[in-house]
């Protein structure tokens, strides 16, 4: 039995950041529905109808591009973190948490801490598959606790805390 308990693991959590694409996806669908309704109920020759159809088409295109970009970015990040854990290509950072600064209720400052010479920072509003569970929302990081971190390019892919 390990002296550490698992507090966070990207692979165990699964791909959850897809939810960030819901808003642009909904905007895209709504714009397309409005566009279809406009085109079916209003003669295209009506004054201003073409202008509004053009604006709504642009909104739909931008929202769709945003949705796709968000899905691609978040999935790539998740896959990279998960692959690093699977292939053991992460850097192990082990030691005591020092210089811990919790994130405030207003989101400022960004939560941060150091373990030895390695600094980590994150926010609860980060759209990431890496660890970003802040102290104000129940996160486990506190000054003085012993941790073992799987560090992937400055992101916490796995967090273990000494029992």
Q: Where exactly are the structural domains of the chain? A: 4-10+91-162, 12-87
Return the pLDDT at 34. Answer: 86
Say what the pLDDT of residue 108 is: 87
Task: Give the number of other Cβ atoms within 10 Å of residue 20's Cβ.
Answer: 17
Residue 6 host element (H or E): strand 4-9
pLDDT: is 74 or 41 the higher one?
A: 74
Sign of the torsion angle spanned by Cα atoms 127, 129, 131, 134: positive
pLDDT tens digits, one per residue of 103-116: 998 888 999 999 99
Asked if residue 158 has pLDDT above 60, the reply is: yes
The H or E element that residue 64 is part of is helix 49-87
- What interhelical angle do 22-41 and 49-87 show, nearest 10? 160
């Amino acid at each position: 039995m390990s002296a550490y308990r698992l507090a966070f693991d990207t692979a165990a959590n699964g791909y959850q950041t897809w939810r960030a694409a819901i808003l642009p996806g909904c905007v895209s669908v709504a714009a397309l529905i409005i566009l279809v309704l406009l085109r079916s109920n209003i003669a295209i020759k009506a004054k201003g109808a073409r202008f509004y159809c053009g604006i709504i088409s642009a909104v739909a295109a931008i929202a769709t591009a945003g949705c796709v970009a968000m899905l691609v970015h978040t999935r790539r990040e998740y896959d990279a973190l998960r692959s690093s854990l699977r292939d053991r290509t992460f850097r192990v950072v082990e030691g005591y948490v020092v210089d811990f600064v919790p994130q405030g209720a207003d989101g400022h400052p960004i939560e941060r801490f150091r373990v030895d010479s390695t600094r980590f920072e994150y926010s609860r509003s980060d759209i990431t598959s890496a660890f970003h569970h802040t102290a104000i929302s129940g996160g486990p990081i506190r000054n003085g606790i012993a941790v073992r971190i799987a560090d992937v390019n400055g992101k916490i892919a796995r967090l273990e805390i000494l029992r």
